[in-house]
């Protein structure tokens, strides 16, 4: 088997070939085991792959891109790293479809926080590579998107977006801009909020699982 570009773990599908594929993208400072804890509760027909972000952190964990702080504690993102990760994930999707018994026309991204930001970026930059996006506790970062999105065909995309209404890491106001952004591109979407911080409430999990079930 050819070496794939991103370290990952898998849960095989109950379907032996042409299985729907779910790719998980963890948040800043975490690893591939984090979201993979959902795998046992998700539909058995899904072939699940959980990725490890490419930039190691100290003393542990990984990031899709660096978050830097200045002396006044203002923070900014390394958009070059973020764009490189966006393109690496897109490349990995092709590699996974060539390596595993999955259906290249039924691909879902599930991202949390920084992984959610990358899920938006991959889908909006490479809309032909994915179908469904579950974006948890993230937002659309226009800094890592192509300048002109309008010529793209987004008709096959469908987003489930959710956020904690008291999120202390990524302000809910940032996430609330998402529906209008997606509407402007005529992209199907559902947006929900839950009374939690930067995390996934049980009700949130059950809602996106039901949403995903309807797509399979």
Residue carrying structure tokens 């702080």? 69
- Confidence at residue 71, expressed as pLDDT on a 0 to 100 scale: 56
Nearest CA to 82 out of 68, 69, 72 is that of 68
CA distance 21 to 130: 10
Q: How many domains does the chain have?
A: 1
Is residue 1 in some structural domain? no
Mean pLDDT of the region 36-49: 96
CA separation, residue 134 to residues 16, 72, 169, 205, 209 (Å) = 25, 34, 19, 10, 10
- pLDDT digits 0-9 by tens, 164-191: 999 999 999 999 999 999 999 999 999 9
Phi, psi dihedrals of residue 129, rounded to the nearest 5°: -90, -20
Beta partners for residue 159, in sequence order:
133, 189
Is residue 166 in some structural domain? yes
Is residue 55 in some structural domain? yes
CB-facing half-sphere around the CA of 87: CA atoms within 13 A: 8
Is residue 76 in some structural domain? yes
Is residue 146 in some structural domain? yes
- For residue 164, give the CATH number of its domain: 3.40.50.1820
CB atoms within 10 A of CB 213: 12
Is residue 156 in some structural domain? yes
Is residue 204 in some structural domain? yes
Nearest CA to 111 out of 124, 94, 97, 101 is that of 124
> Domain limits at 37?
8-213
The DSSP bridge pattern shows strands 47-51 and 62-63 to be unpaired
Is residue 2 in some structural domain? no
How does residue 1 score in pLDDT terms, banded at 50, 70 and 90?
A: very low
- pLDDT digits 0-9 by tens, 71-110: 555 667 899 999 999 999 999 999 999 999 999 999 999 9
Torsion of CA 146, 4, 18, 123, to 10 degrees: -10
- pLDDT digits 0-9 by tens, 135-164: 999 999 999 999 888 778 899 999 999 999
């Amino acid at each position: 088997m050819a070496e794939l570009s991103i370290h990952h773990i898998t849960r095989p599908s109950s379907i032996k070939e042409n299985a729907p594929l779910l790719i998980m993208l963890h948040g800043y400072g975490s690893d591939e085991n984090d979201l993979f804890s959902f795998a046992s509760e998700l539909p058995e027909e899904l072939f699940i792959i959980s990725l490890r972000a490419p930039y190691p952190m100290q003393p542990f964990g990984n990031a899709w891109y660096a978050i830097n702080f200045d002396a006044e504690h203002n923070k900014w993102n390394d958009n070059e790293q973020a764009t490189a990760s966006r393109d690496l994930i897109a490349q990995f999707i092709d590699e996974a479809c060539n390596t595993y018994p999955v259906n290249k026309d039924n691909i879902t991204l599930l991202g949390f926080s920084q992984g959610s930001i990358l899920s938006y970026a991959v889908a909006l930059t490479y809309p032909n590579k994915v179908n469904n996006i579950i974006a948890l506790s993230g937002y659309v970062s226009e800094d890592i998107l192509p300048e002109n999105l309008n010529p793209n065909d987004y008709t096959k995309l469908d987003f489930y977006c959710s956020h904690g209404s008291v999120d202390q890491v990524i302000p809910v106001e940032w996430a609330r801009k998402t529906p209008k952004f997606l509407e402007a591109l005529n992209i199907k979407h559902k947006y929900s909020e839950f009374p939690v911080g930067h995390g996934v409430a049980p009700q949130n999990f059950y809602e996106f699982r039901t949403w995903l079930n309807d797509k399979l």
